[in-house]
Each structure stands twice: as structure tokens, then as C-alpha cells.
Amino acid sequence: MKNYLEKLINQEDLTVAEMKDAANHCFTDTITDSEIASFLTALQVKGETADEIAGIVEVIRSRSSFNTAHIPNAMDNCGTGGDKSYSFNISTTSAFVIAGAGIPVAKHGNRSISSKTGSADVLEHLGVSLSFTNDHVEEMLHENKIAFLFAPHVHAALKPFSKVRQELGLPTIFNAIGPLTNPVSLDSQLLGVYRPDMVQMLAEALRKLGRRRAIVINGAGEMDEASLAGDNKISLLDQGNITTFTLHPEEVGLPTYPNEQIRGGDAIDNATILQNVLNGQKDAYYDTVLLNAGLGLYANGSAETIKAGIELARESIESGAAMERLQYLIEYSRKIPSEVM
């Protein structure tokens, strides 16, 4: 570890292999909290690269207790958090819309980071279990096209890092890699990040991790979701090629709204917003979900254009398919024995 720390302090990047070796060392009994803290801090000060992100993600995924069979065409649409926009649960709501359009969504999430309510908080309030087993996840992805993977549950081995991160109280590489550590083998991904300078770099990391298609987006107002407030910066990964462009909502037939109009609240408030959107209530929340779900369907490749993805998203809501996915998840959770919950 000392050699890697010296390289980072000297502003030298680690290769994928070096990063995997260093990350694996962090899980050994000989590592100290101060070494882990120094490692994370040195990475942050130098600035993480796509190779370093890919390396640590591969190690974390390999240590997950989850090892699902291959789910054809599976995707995720989890953002990094950290934008401090206090928006409603955009990606969580959009996940049900994407699933309603027939795409398997392995929704990876956690409790609140930058908003008042994280995906786990709002889903728990609605009655969704945070303790699904490997078999549960596989069954739901096949039968319901959506399952929720609570990050602390599927990554229990990360406790050494969690303790150090809490004590540090500073941003680390973990603030960017959460959505990449989904233990399900993903074919495609929609990834939001609050830092515009990380958009292309995360697309490069996704390429190294083997995604067929992906979109990395920084929303107007530096949100970690697509925003209706103005231009969104996007990097599209398609079959190994990355292109970067901007997208304004008016280009795809959607109105503009200031980000203040999509603020959320506590778990109760955000659960109500989520249900209202899935029930087809037209407002800024609804249009924001259309944009994000549409981008997800385009990222997956099931829509040939972003505008076509938005129309598929609208159909998913208006047909009731998106709400059916949520209701199935709630009912499935009720059938799980209490000792599993």
C-alpha cells in the first residue's frame, strides 16, 4: 500500500491492475483505518481516473454477497447523489416507468445522500423490502422487470470503508462509484452525476466495465439527473464509442421548469409524488420523469431516439404498466417471511 500511496501523492495515476491490488489490500486484516483514510484522501486530492474507478468497482462487485444469473438486457438508472438539489426521487420513479416499458431494471440505491429522502427511504415507506435475497432479485427481474437492491445489504463487505468515510466526513471516490457497483451484470446504464467534469470520465469507466450502451448525464443546475431547467450535458457510450453533447428539453418536445419546482420532502411527501406521477398526474414532476425515463430507454437501446424514449415512457405511465410494477414489488415484499425482512 505504501508504494501506491507514494504514487498518488506524486500525482501519478494507478493502472486498473494496481487499483485492484490496492483495493483488495483494503479488505485484509493487516490494513489500518489510517491507511484506508490516507488512500482515499490521496485519490481525491490527485483526482480519480477511469482506470482507477473501474479497478475499485471490479473489486467491490467481486466481494458482493449477490451473484445473480445473467439477466438479459438488465439496466440501472441510479445517480451518484451529491447535487444538494433536494429534488424528489427522480431516478426511483423513472425506474418503474422504464420497467413498465418492459426493460429489466436492477435498481441499486441507498438512503438519503443529498436530498431529504433517498430511494431506500421512499420505497421502505411504500412497503418495499430492503432485504431481498439473490433469489428474490432474480425472480422479480424476470417476473416484474424491476427489483430493488439496497446498497448496504448487497455490499456488507464494505463496512471497513464505511467507517472510515464517516470519520473522514469528506468526499471520496465512493461519492462517484456507488451506481457502478451494482452486483447485477448490467447490459446498459443511465448514470447521473452532479459534477460536469466527470461526465466523460465516468462514460470511459463504464466502457472499461463492459457496458454495451450507457448515458452519463449532468443536468442543468448541476443536478445528478436530467433537468428541465436548461441544457443537460450528456456522454453516450454505444458499442465502445463515446460522444458528448448537450440536450435542452425543448429539443424533445418538453417544457422548461426551474429546478425549484421539482423539490421533494420527506419519505411521505416523496412517496405521494412518486404515486401521483405513476398515476399520470401532469405537472413538473411528471415531465421530469418523462425526460429521465426516456433517456433511460434510449440508453438501453430500446428507443432509437430520446424523443421516442419519452413517448415509450408516456405510454408506460398512461397504460398503468409503471404503477403495476410498483404494486407488484409491494405485494411481493408482503409475502417475504418476516425473518428475511
Beta carbons of 48 and 77 less than 8 angstroms apart? no
Return the amino acid letter for 341. Answer: M
* Residue list, annotated binding site: 79, 82-83, 87, 89-92, 107-115, 119, 165, 224-225
Which segments are annotated as binding site for 5-phospho-alpha-D-ribose 1-diphosphate? 79, 82-83, 87, 89-92, 107-115, 119
**H helix intervals, 144-250:** 151-154, 159-168, 174-177, 199-208
The x, y and z cell numbers of residue 78, run together, are 441510479
Asked if residues 233 and 199 have their Cβ atoms less than 8 Å apart, the reply is: yes
Helix axes 50-62 and 199-208, enclosed angle (nearest 10): 50
User: Which residues, other chains included, contact 59 with Cβ-Cβ below 8 Å and sequence gap of 6+?
Assistant: 19, 20, 23, 24, 27
Amino acid code (one letter) for 308: A
User: Which grid cell sits at 262?
Assistant: 421539482
Binding-site positions for Mg(2+): 91, 224-225
Alpha helices in the chain (DSSP H): 2-9, 16-25, 33-46, 50-62, 90-100, 119-126, 134-143, 151-154, 159-168, 174-177, 199-208, 267-278, 284-300, 306-318, 321-335
Q: Would you tell me the crossing angle of helices 321-335 and 119-126 to the nearest 10 degrees? A: 70
Say if CB 254 and CB 290 are below 8 A apart. Answer: yes
First to last CA, the chain: 39
As annotated, the binding site for anthranilate includes: 79, 110, 165
Helices 321-335 and 90-100 meet at what angle, rounded to 10? 100
